[in-house]
């Protein structure tokens, strides 16, 4: 596979799943001590990657769960935040300024802060009440954060008696690193053609629904815009017909992310419409990826992970085809702002 370190990938994803016991114990301890709500705070892409776990809990748990932007929470506050709150903050670098400020803000109000970081000896790792450290880099962090936040959600459901499948689900998740590696291998030849599709246009509409929507937003904003300087319009499939469809005309690229949860029909509706207008349509369907030994129920939780793992292969080809390394920035962490 092009520019891919197999051992590093396996080590990082196995490391994410190795956090299961610690996360389960920590979340359980706070719930038993009376925690009454849960905040997920993440800046930029890390915050977006928390969204599938948030939606899972909002759909399946009666525990109040809040997804907030750290900078906004510090400016506006929340009557829900206090000693009864668990706060989860992800940051690959462990140094994100807005998140560090939010950590102190939350702790000052008595909340317990759990951080998920990719680096030790950083403010978010050192100052948290509990830190879960799993070294990762940009090309491997999506799966890692998706999986760790899923473990948080599964732990909440288990400890609150709102799910009885925790043990079986985590057992299946432990198979994922090797299964994802095989998905990458099987997708490698197609990754090049998908990269061609993206490289050939300077604007893309990207859509998804349910737990594929965050990956549509993330890939458009954090990869194509930040790392490739390609303009995108991420839009939720349920909102596609409330404005964005008017931007579709012949030659306009529409990229669809189809997952396996209950929102799949929302993406299929867009999939049915766009070919009647444009011939530039790309569909990535997680149902096409083989995950032996994983049940349909667990698969439905993993659509964003699967998309992230194949899109990493796309990105590897895209940076070569466009002669634009993914690490190249004009402003991000280069200027004071």
Cross-strand partners of 89: 115
Instruction: Count the helices and strands in the chain (H runs, E runs).
Output: 14, 9
**What per-residue string of b and e applies to 3-21 under the rule 16 or more CB within 10 Å gives b?**
eeeeeebeebbebbbebbe
Confidence (pLDDT) at 336: 83
Confidence (pLDDT) at 247: 97
What are the residue boundaries of the structural domains of the chain, listed by start?
6-173, 176-321
Contact 144, 132 (CB under 8 A): no
As a whole number of angstroms, the distance between CA 330 and CA 226 comes to 9
> Which two tokens mark 337?
């702002």
- Comparing 6-173 with 176-321, is the CATH topology the same? yes
> What phi and psi, each to the nearest 5 degrees, are found at residue 295?
-70, 165
CATH code of the region 176-321:
3.40.50.10490
* Per-residue DSSP letter, 35: -
Question: Can you say whether the dihedral through the CA atoms of 165, 179, 10, 186 is positive or negative?
Answer: negative
How high is the mean pLDDT in each 10-residue block of the chain (337 residues)?
Answer: 97 98 98 98 97 98 98 98 98 97 98 98 98 95 98 98 98 98 98 98 98 98 98 98 97 98 98 98 98 98 98 98 96 86
As a whole number of angstroms, the distance between CA 41 and CA 118 comes to 16
Confidence (pLDDT) at 337: 81
Q: Percentage of the chain with pLDDT > 90?
A: 98
Q: Does domain 6-173 have CATH number 3.40.50.800?
A: no
- The DSSP line for 78-105 is -TT-STTEEEEEEESSS--HHHHHHHHH
């Amino acid at each position: 596979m092009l520019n891919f370190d197999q051992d590093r990938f396996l080590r990082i994803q196995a490391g994410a799943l190795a956090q299961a016991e610690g996360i389960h114990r920590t979340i359980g301890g706070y719930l038993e001590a009376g925690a009454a709500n849960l905040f997920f705070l993440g800046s930029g892409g890390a915050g977006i990657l928390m969204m599938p776990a948030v939606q899972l809990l909002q759909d399946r748990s009666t525990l109040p769960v809040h997804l907030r932007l750290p900078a906004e929470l510090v400016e506006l506050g929340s009557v829900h935040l206090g000693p009864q709150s668990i706060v989860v903050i992800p940051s690959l670098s462990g140094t994100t300024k807005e998140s560090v400020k939010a950590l102190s803000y939350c702790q000052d109000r008595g909340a317990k802060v759990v951080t998920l970081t990719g680096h030790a000896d950083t403010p978010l790792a050192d100052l948290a009440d509990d830190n879960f450290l799993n070294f990762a880099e940009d090309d491997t962090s999506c799966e890692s954060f998706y999986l760790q936040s899923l473990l948080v959600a599964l732990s909440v459901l288990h400890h609150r008696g709102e799910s009885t499948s925790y043990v079986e689900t985590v057992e299946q998740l432990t198979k994922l690193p090797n299964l994802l590696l095989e998905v990458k291998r099987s997708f490698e030849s197609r990754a090049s053609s998908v990269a061609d599709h993206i490289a050939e246009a300077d604007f893309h509409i990207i859509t998804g629904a349910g737990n594929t929507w965050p990956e549509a937003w993330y890939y458009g904003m954090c990869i194509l815009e930040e790392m490739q300087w390609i303009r995108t319009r991420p839009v939720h499939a349920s909102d596609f017909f409330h404005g964005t469809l008017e931007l579709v005309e012949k030659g306009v690229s529409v990229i669809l992310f189809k997952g396996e949860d209950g929102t799949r029909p929302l993406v299929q509706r867009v999939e049915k419409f766009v070919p009647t207008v444009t011939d530039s349509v790309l569909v990535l369907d997680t149902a096409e990826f083989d995950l032996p030994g994983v049940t349909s129920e667990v698969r439905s939780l993993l659509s964003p992970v699967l998309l992230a793992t194949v899109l990493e292969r796309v990105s590897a080809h895209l940076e070569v085809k466009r002669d634009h390394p993914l690490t190249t920035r004009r402003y991000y962490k280069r200027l004071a702002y």
